[in-house]
Amino acid sequence: MLSAERGVAVVTGGAGSLGSVICTGLAREGFRVVVGYNRSAQKAQAMAAGLPGEGHAALPAPVTDTTALAGFAAEIGRSYGSCDVLVNCAGVTRFVPHSDLEGLDDALIDNILATNVRGVFAAIRALRPLLEKSKQPGGAVVVNISSIAALTAMGSNVIYCASKAAVDNMTKSLGRALAPRIRVVSVAPGVVDNDFIRSMDPSWLEEQVSRTPLKRLAAPEEVAAAVIAAIKQLTFATGAVIPVDGGRPLS
C-alpha cells in the first residue's frame, strides 16, 4: 500500500479535456490522483505519469459497468486504503437541436442517462466504503460536474439538460444521505472553452458569449479551481450547486 501522507483524489473521465485539467489542479494541491478512464488508456497513463508529485495512477473506470467499478474500487483500496475525494467528470453528449425530437434517438438517450446519471450514482456507490475511511478534516468530498444546462434547459440536447438536472437533484439527496462523513456538491459550469465546444458552429458560440454578462466562455482552469475550492475552502457546504457560469442566468 502506498504512503498515506497525502490525500487521494479519484477523477472519473479524468483523461478528458476538462478531467485532465482537474487532475492537474488536484495534483498541484498535493493529492495523489487516480485518473479514471473508459477507453483512453494510453492518454490516461501518460497523463498520470506526467502529473506533479508522486503516487498517481491511471485505472479503468467505465462508469456504466457496475462490475468493473467494483474492481476499480477494490484496486484503489489495495493501493491506497481509502479515498478522500471523488470527482465525477465522466459524461457524454451529442449536439441535437431541441426541436429535433426524432434526432434524439433511444440509443443516445439511454447512453446519456446511463453515463451522466446512473454512472455518477454508481461511482459514488462503489467508492462509498473508501470515502467513509477518509481521514481528511471534515470528511470526504464528492464533486459532481454538472452544467448550467440543468438550470437553463439550454444545452447540447434536451436529454443532456435533463441529465444534469438529475445530477443536481442527486447531489442534494446524497448530500443529506451521506452526511456527516461525506460532503456532496455539484460544480455547474457555463459553456467551457474546450475541444467539443470549439467544434460547434461559430455563430452559436458568439451567441453564447453575447448572452453571458462576463462576455466570454469559462476556462477549464476556472472549473478546476471551483472543484478545489469546494474541497478545501467550502468546508461547510453540502448538497450545494456551485455555478461557474459568468452570470449567464442573469441575462
pLDDT tens-digit series, residues 129-139: 999 999 999 99
The pLDDT score that the predictor gives to residue 1 is 46
- Say which CATH number the domain at 160 has: 3.40.50.720
The pLDDT score that the predictor gives to residue 219 is 95
46-50, 54-58, 197-201: range with lowest mean pLDDT = 197-201
C-alpha 226/C-alpha 172 separation (Å) is: 18
C-alpha 78/C-alpha 180 separation (Å) is: 25
- Looking at the chain, the whole-number percentage of residues with pLDDT higher than 70 is 98
Question: How crowded is residue 165: how many other Cβ atoms within 10 Å of its Cβ?
Answer: 17
C-alpha 207/C-alpha 191 separation (Å) is: 11
The answer to whether position 202 is within a domain reads yes
Q: Model confidence over 201-244: pLDDT tens digits?
A: 788 788 889 999 999 999 999 999 999 999 999 999 999 999 99
Contact predicate 175/184, CB 8 Å: yes
pTM of the model: 0.95
C-alpha 146/C-alpha 144 separation (Å) is: 6
Q: Which domain holds residue 143?
A: 8-244
The answer to whether position 54 is within a domain reads yes
- Which of 80, 72, 83, 89 has its CA nearest to residue 21? 89
The answer to whether position 232 is within a domain reads yes
Q: Is 37 marked active-site?
A: no
The answer to whether position 60 is within a domain reads yes
The pLDDT score that the predictor gives to residue 176 is 98
The pLDDT score that the predictor gives to residue 196 is 75
The pLDDT score that the predictor gives to residue 5 is 67
The pLDDT score that the predictor gives to residue 75 is 98
Out of 62, 122, 160, 228, pick the active-site residue: 160
More confident residue, 189 or 195: 189
Number of domains in the chain: 1
With a cut of 60, say whether residue 103 has pLDDT above it: yes
The answer to whether position 66 is within a domain reads yes
Instruction: Return the SS3 of 90.
Output: coil
Amino acid code (one letter) for 237: A
Q: Model confidence over 116-166: pLDDT tens digits?
A: 999 999 999 999 999 999 999 999 999 999 999 999 999 899 999 999 999
The 3-class secondary structure across 179-221, one letter per residue, is: CCCEEEEEEEECCECCHHHHCCCHHHHHHHHHCCCCCCCECHH
Instruction: State the average pLDDT for the chain.
Output: 95
The answer to whether position 31 is within a domain reads yes
The answer to whether position 251 is within a domain reads no
The answer to whether position 240 is within a domain reads yes
